[in-house]
Every structure is written in C-alpha cells, then in structure tokens.
Copies of this chain bind each other. A is one copy, B any other.
Amino acid sequence: MAKEVNNQEENYSLWYNNLVTKADLAENSAVRGCMVIKPYGYAIWEKMQADLDRRFKETGHVNAYFPLFIPKSFLSREAEHVEGFAKECAVVTHHRLMANPNGQGLIVDPDARLEEELVVRPTSETIIWNTYKDWIKSYRDLPILCNQWANVVRWEMRTRIFLRTAEFLWQEGHTAHATREEAEEETLRMAEVYASFARETMALPVILGKKSASERFAGALETLCIEAMMQDGKALQSGTSHFLGQNFAKAFDVKFATKAGGLEYVWASSWGVSTRLMGALVMAHGDNKGLVIPPKLAPLQVVMVPIYKGEEEMGRVVEHLKKIQKGLETKGISTKIDDRDHLRSGFKFAEWELKGVPVRIAVGPRDMEQGTVEVARRDTLEKSVVSQAGISTHIHSLLSDIQDNMYQKALSFREAHTHRVNSYAEFKERIEDGGFFLCHWDGTAETEERIKNETKATLRVIPFDHDGETGTCMVTGKPSAQRVIFARAY
C-alpha cells in the first residue's frame, strides 16, 4: 500500500496529521496557518453544512451575509471582546500594490494607506450589531434570527489543520431578542441543535453544558458548549452558543420601542461551529487503517470493487455491479464502482479503507455464479458473504447499523475513559493517561487556574445532565454543587 498511516498508539498527533493529508481531506498551504480543504474533505464539510443548515431553518433561522472586514474602532467598543481578539487579527492597512521602483516584484503603495485600518473578521458580533442598529426600531422587528456561513481569520501562533487554523470556515448565528428569557432560550436551543447534530449525524457522543466564567466567549454572560472526547482521551470543544446579554446592544446603541411604549436595549445570542468539526470526525472515529466516516456524512457510502482476471472478465463483473448499483441508488445510497484497471484490488481495498467509506462490496466471477456478494463494513472491518437477492435492503439497514454502532462505540469509549475522582492527588496522577475527570470544584477561577497550571487540564464543561450529587472541591475542600468535567484539551 502506497499511503500508509501511522499507528495511533505510537504517536497520536502524527497519526492525525498524516491521516488528514493522506486521506485527501486537507493540506497546509503556502500561507502560514491557512489550509487547503481538498475535494474529499470539502464534500464531508458540505454534508455537515447541509445538515446543520436544515436544522437552523427548521428552528426559524435565515441566512444572510455581512462584510469580511471590520473597522478597527468597532473592536474597541466592547471591552472584553477586544481583549479576546485584538491580539490575533489580520490587519488590512493598504488598498494597492505597485511595481517596486528599486527592483523586482511588487511593494505596498505607500500612497494607498487606508484612513482606518480594517480587521479581517475573527467573528462578526461587532459589524453585525452595528448593522442591527438600523434594522431594529420596534418590538415588531424582533426577534432577528440570522445565520451566516463564512470564513474567519484568527492569527493563532500554533496552528494545526482543522483544529486551529489562521483561516477557517464556520457558521455564526447572531440573534436579537426583546427579552432576556427569549435570548437565553435561543442560546440553549442552539446548543441543543449542535448536540443533536453531533450525536445523530456525526455519531459523536457530546456532553452539553456550560463553560466556567474564565472559559467564556469574550463578551458573553454565559457560554454553552458541546464537548467531545477524542481517542487519545483529550477533549475537543465542538460548538459553542453564547448568551450575550445586552453587551453588544449597549456597545452599538441598539434599542427598541417596547409594546408598552418604553425604549430598551436588545438582548442577544451568538453561536457557531466550524471546520474544527472535521478534526473531531477524524479523531473520534479514525483507526490505524484510516478514516471511519459515519454513513450520514460519507460523500461515498458504498464502494464497489470488481474482482477479475483479464479484460473480458472485468467487463462482465462491472456490468453485474452496475445492476447492483442501480438498486442501491434507488434507495438513495451513494455508490461508486472502482473500475480502475491499473490497480490491484488489494490496493483499492486499502485506499477506500483509508478514506473511510462505510461499506465495501466486492464481486468476482464465483460470486456471480453463486448469486452472492462480499460485504465489508468499515467500522468493525467485518466481512460477510450475503445473497445478492435483497442486497439493497441489506445495505440500507447495514448503513443504519454502522451509524448507530459508531455512536455506541464512541460512547463506550468515552464512558470507559471518564473517571469520578475525589482527590487532587489522584487527579494529578491519572490526568497523565488522558480522559474526562468528573470532579467537585469550588466554582472559583483561582482553583481552575491552579489546576490548569499544575496539570494542563482545563474545566471543559459543567454538564447539564448530572446526578445532583453535591460535594467538596477536590483542591480546596470548599463546597461544590455538582461535579464538572476537567480534561486536557485541543
């Protein structure tokens, strides 16, 4: 096999980088920290987008588009927001290049300096709330439930494909409401939409809850999140939904006439998921043979490989596969016959395993005679010989099984790597092996900071779903209302 993947166990990080590239998901570009999303990777992202977009529209949202650039002064308007983003901004200062008068190539034309510098959006709260100011006059203009699919730029120092890139693709919802309650409900609704998407479509058993104050979005009063476990036991924040209170309405002076005749600041939420989810997909499900893609996100669900000797036999087998293909397609299953004649079937098997195609069908002359088909499922790598009669129905239900099994497997993994720990000494020892730690915590930023400095673990999520057990902080012994999850994270 030409493209071998490293072993997860030897070096998880190398395994990940390797797999992302070799499975043709994405690659680094000539621009520092910016990735190229290759067609196969982009096809998965398109499936994620379509599924999310449907869920957004079903919950009453509409799409819109706001400018890529944000005037520098807008960022300063909300104090915490600017603190969070000013240090990692791509800044546009000029609008023209010119031929270098003293040599070759181009230089920035010094006469084309912008009056006010523009920041490439790291997130769009400021430009959007500046726009909403003109859209919102009365309670009749509310709620506004907008989403945007866009690229954003955050000049991170250490980048890693999909997980942390200077430019990434995402969606950002920005909603405006008449009351605090409505904005809080929306914040929760969208966190739940993300959780359902992750569980049902990505086969990712995420934990839904809220962030501690120190992990909140810059400018939010509350940040909800979904947190997933990767196969190295680390956590990956997979989506966030923020209750912004009236912070941005105040920063941009957005008031509305209430039904009762008053004038009040508008309440806000914002929420987003990004191409980071592609990284989650790889790390939650991949194995040493390559990607394992849940059927609901697989650009190709069934690959069909003819087994043959010589051109004549190949022709006959391919014709036979085409009949099976027709049946699968009427069930809405996406398929491809790999009829490349310069590659051995073993090479093809390995290549499609690398690419994570959920089901492989192989048919040779003997199968044709016997009316059978060899079916291999990617998640368990099990092979079985099944009758050609009813193959479409069989594959259809197999895809559904694979989707469920992938979720269950990831859930079992997470459960096996989630530990209830009561002593800080035990925590410090076991954190080295990875996993989620359900601990009592005293609710202070100081304790969080101490844990982070001493163990590199952060408070990932205060889960909504918990057993109600109160206790005492594993570090300080002060009272704790519920267990929270600490882990090392991406």
The chain A residues found within 8 Å of chain B, CB to CB, are 27, 29-31, 34-39, 42-43, 45-46, 62-76, 82, 86-99, 104-106, 108, 117-120, 127, 130-131, 134, 140, 146, 150-151, 153, 155, 167, 169, 342
Contact = CB atoms under 8 A, between A and B. Distances in A.
29 contacts: A27-B131, A29-B131, A30-B74, A30-B127, A30-B131, A31-B118, A35-B67, A36-B65, A36-B131, A37-B64, A39-B63, A42-B63, A42-B65, A67-B167, A68-B167, A73-B106, A76-B105, A82-B106, A86-B98, A87-B96, A87-B97, A89-B96, A91-B92, A91-B97, A93-B108, A97-B119, A140-B342, A150-B151, A151-B151
A422 to B, nearest CB: 43
Contact of A91 (B43, B95, B134, B342): B95
A40 to B, nearest CB: 8
Contact of A127 (B29, B88, B94): B29
B69 A86 contact: no
A120 B92 contact: yes
Interface centre among A70, A95, A108 (most CB of B within 10 A): A95
A87 B118 CA distance: 18
Nearest to A117: B108
Nearest to A87: B96
Nearest to A126: B30
Interface centre among A31, A98, A140 (most CB of B within 10 A): A31
Contacts of A342: 140
B62 A37 contact: no
Interface of A: prevailing SS: mixed
Which 10 pairs between the two chains have the least Cβ-Cβ distance? A34-B67, A39-B62, A37-B65, A95-B155, A86-B97, A91-B94, A93-B93, A31-B67, A90-B92, A31-B69
A70 B31 contact: yes
Contact of A146 (B34, B39, B120, B167): B39
B92 A92 contact: yes
B153 A68 contact: yes
> Could you say how many copies of this chain the assembly holds?
2
A38 B42 CA distance: 26
A120 B92 CA distance: 9
Contact of A97 (B34, B66, B67, B75): B75
Contacts of A39: 62-64, 146
Interface centre among A63, A74, A150 (most CB of B within 10 A): A63
Contact of A93 (B94, B104, B155): B94
Given A30-B71, A74-B30, A108-B91, A96 B155 contact: yes
Given A36-B64, A68-B151, A68-B167, 5 more contacts: A27-B131, A27-B134, A30-B71, A31-B67, A86-B106
Contacts of A69: 31, 34, 90, 167
A417 to B, nearest CB: 33
A63 B117 CA distance: 33
B106 A95 contact: no
Contact of A96 (B88, B118, B151): B88
Contacts of A93: 91-94, 108
A438 to B, nearest CB: 38
A227 to B, nearest CB: 26
Contact of A72 (B37, B43, B75, B97): B97
Contacts of A119: 97
A118 B90 contact: yes
A110 to B, nearest CB: 11
